[in-house]
Amino acid sequence: MGDVTTIGLDIAKTSFQAHGADASGAVVFRKKLSRGRLLAFFAGLPACVVVMETCSGAHHWGREFTRMGHTVRLIPPAYVKPFVKRQKNDEADAEAICEAAQRPTMRFVAVKSAEQQALGVVFRARDLLVRQRTQISNAIRGHVAEFGTVAPKGVCYVDRLVAMIEDADSALPAAARESLKILVAVLAKLSEEVAVLDREIARRVKGDLTARRLMTIPGVGPVTAAAMVALAPGPQAFRRGRDFSAWLGLTPLQKSTGGKQKLGQITKMGERTLRRLLVIGASAVIKQALLKGAPPGSWLAQIIARKPRMLAAVALANKTARVVWALLANGGTYRAPALAA
């Protein structure tokens, strides 16, 4: 049995399980640690590889262990699960993490900086408030529809319903109006908070050179650029743009066997937040192209002519993802492709 070279660490709120192995994979120690003893334990170890799953707190502990001279690697939980033997407990999880990290083809996640995580918090908070605002809007629509009043789809048409709720002479019963006024007040408060976060994102994007370069791509606005900077790993984690697009879940699902290629819908197995933003941005670009016309002979004009609108939006989102990776990897700004004469 040699010296410890790899430590699989299963982290939680207060209890941590460490599994140490030498270069051959033999077990060196299994140790349960409390939160207060964790840093002191790793400070007393020689420099080694510390591996964790990408869960809550993993990036924080990764930064702490890196300061001590350890090499930190983070693994997606889905890649650890096949290495768990029979029963699932903290010891088995830590051992599985250690074994998974020793595979030569294993994929790892880069440790994020505190600033990158802070930007991610701003974006996640805005995303949550926007979802809540949508829920409140839909609730108002549904409740008012019970009394025979409907409004067209779209956020801008909710104001009609709000005006009717606040009108004392409307046909709404008094009891319903008082309850709906509470929802209207919550809706207004959510809109104010979303506007505050929008300004914060715009301020951060304005001071970030990478985000400003990404915003030169059609369909990429401040929110998408901020999300890319905060949530996407570094370009060095991918060999090419297609790998980045696959990580986002924008490539077809493969069920191929016997040399027969069988491709289906997009996998939706990657980063769903970034994928959603790219598809929304691509849909906006296609909408403008349908209204004003795409350049004749361009890739966009051809894909719109051949494919349904939603399929074209996903294809454009895939293409945008590859452009994003190219700008992150090589620098520069977006340049529209030259059209053939």
At residue 213, the pLDDT reads 93
Q: What percent of the chain has pLDDT over 90?
A: 52
Q: What number is the average pLDDT over the span 304-331?
A: 92
Indicate the pLDDT class of residue 101, thresholds 50, 70 and 90.
very high
For 31-45, 161-175, 215-229, 275-289, which range has the lowest pLDDT when averaged over its residues? 161-175
Sequence-ordered list of residues with C-beta below 8 angstroms from that of 271, at least 6 positions apart, any chain? 231, 232, 247, 248, 249
Q: Express each pLDDT in 141-191 by its tens digit.
A: 999 888 888 888 877 888 888 888 888 878 888 888 889 999 999 999 999
**Rounded mean pLDDT of 48-57?**
92
Dist CA 223 CA 315 (whole Å)? 21
Q: What is the pLDDT of residue 340?
A: 54
Distance in angstroms (rounded) separating the CA atoms of residues 337 and 299: 9
Sequence-separated (6 or more) residues with CB below 8 Å from residue 278: 219, 220, 224, 248, 250, 317, 320, 321
On the question of pLDDT at 100 being above 90, the answer is: yes
Query: If you average pLDDT over residues 123-136, what whole number do you get?
Result: 92
**Which amino acid, residue 341?**
A
pLDDT of residue 247 exceeding 80: yes
Mean pLDDT of the residues in the chain: 89
Residue 126 pLDDT > 70: yes
pLDDT reading at 106 higher than 70: yes
Q: Report pLDDT for 1.
A: 47
Reply yes or no on whether the pLDDT at 341 is more than 60: no
Say what the pLDDT of residue 235 is: 87
Q: What percent of the chain has pLDDT over 70?
A: 98
* Token reading at 151: 């409004």
Q: How far is CA 120 from CA 116, 127, 274, in A?
A: 6, 10, 12
pLDDT given at position 155: 79
Radius of gyration of the chain, Cα coordinates, nearest whole angstrom? 25
- Model confidence at 280: pLDDT above 80: yes
> How confident is the model at residue 159, as a pLDDT?
87
Integer Cα distance of 127 and 136 in angstroms: 14
pLDDT on residue 47: 93
Q: Token pair 């994102």 is at which residue?
A: 201
Mean pLDDT over 24-52 rounds to 93
